[in-house]
A = this chain, B = another copy of it.
């Protein structure tokens, strides 16, 4: 190892910037999943409904949707509803499954259901594929 003078603190910067990078995607993930819910429940996802479910004003929702479109996750025409691209729909499914698995794990470990649901909404975005796989293995036992 060429790592003599690093008493564990050398990898800290990488951990922090990784967490920041993940965080940058978090809001987008929640929007995509929620738009997917709306499409399934009501056949369309309107700005007013998106805003209401996110707990945000409509201009904020409009801007978020603009970012989703820029990222290739959603499409929409002015004054019309929002739809997901293939990529957006796939992301929604992944995010939804990850959320459920995390909640299940938290409950399995003794966290009350309502608390698990609340905490998971923030935690979920930082759960890597590797951790998720471990969760599934644990839950399967």
Contact = CB atoms under 8 A, between A and B. Distances in A.
Copies in the complex: 2
Q: Helix, strand, loop or mixed for chain A's interface? A: helix
Interface residues of A, number: 45
Interface string A122-141: 11011110110011011000
A1 interface: no
A18 interface: yes
Interface of A: 9, 12-19, 22-23, 26, 30, 34, 37, 41, 52-56, 105-106, 109-112, 115-119, 121-123, 125-128, 130-131, 134-135, 137-138
Q: Which 5 A-B pairs have the closest CB atoms?
A: A13-B55, A122-B126, A19-B122, A110-B134, A111-B134
